[in-house]
Amino acid sequence: MLISDLQIPGTYLISNDVHTDNRGSFENIFKETDFKDLGVEFSIKQVNLSRNTHKGTLRGLHFQKHPSMESKIVNCMAGKIFDVMVDLRPDSHFFGFWQSVILEPAQNAVVIPRGVAHGFQTLEENCLVQYLHSGDYAADLNSGLKFDDPSVNVCWPEDISEISDRDKGLPTLGELRKQL
């Protein structure tokens, strides 16, 4: 497993070392000591799967507010996704900045720290996305950033085929700034 810095501080790209033979393949998707070596504390409290039938499905941009902020490790187990992170840490020089990576099975994953919103758009049919969470879900502290906020200007690569009413109604960066 190779872990490299991404542009937003505290975000990392994990490149998996896949071992293949005549039986198939094997890969390690999480090793706590690799993260500790980088100074990143991450203990898994919850694991979730997101199944997405249609190409163009958009989920996000989500995060949990204080005191239930959490870090995530996200990988794509089937299909291909455009994965997006937006820095919402008020004291960060990258506040409001977004970055993206393409996630595919057996290739890579991302580490998303507390205070950074996360979302993705499916680039293929039948995508399966796995989340490793460092904290427990708290419905009353679950929040998000509007996917099409012009002040952030995420460039989603596909027309949106599916999105929840909740995600359509999330606050803009300007509205969130007052809450953070």
Quote the distance between the C-alpha of residue 140 and its chain's center. 20
Catalytic choice (12, 62, 66, 137): 62
- Please confirm, yes or no, whether 131 is among the known catalytic residues: yes
Q: Which helix (H) or strand (E) holds 37?
A: helix 32-37
CB-based contacts of 75, cutoff 8 Å, min separation 6 = 14, 29, 103, 105, 108, 109, 110, 129, 130
End-to-end CA distance of the chain: 34
Catalytic choice (54, 66, 93, 131): 131
- Please confirm, yes or no, whether 62 is among the known catalytic residues: yes
Region label for 102, one of left (φ > 0), alpha (ψ between -120 and 50) or beta (otherwise): beta
Sheet hosting strand 58-64, strand order edge to edge = 98-103, 81-87, 116-122, 58-64, 142-144
Question: Which residues are the active-site residues?
Answer: 62, 131
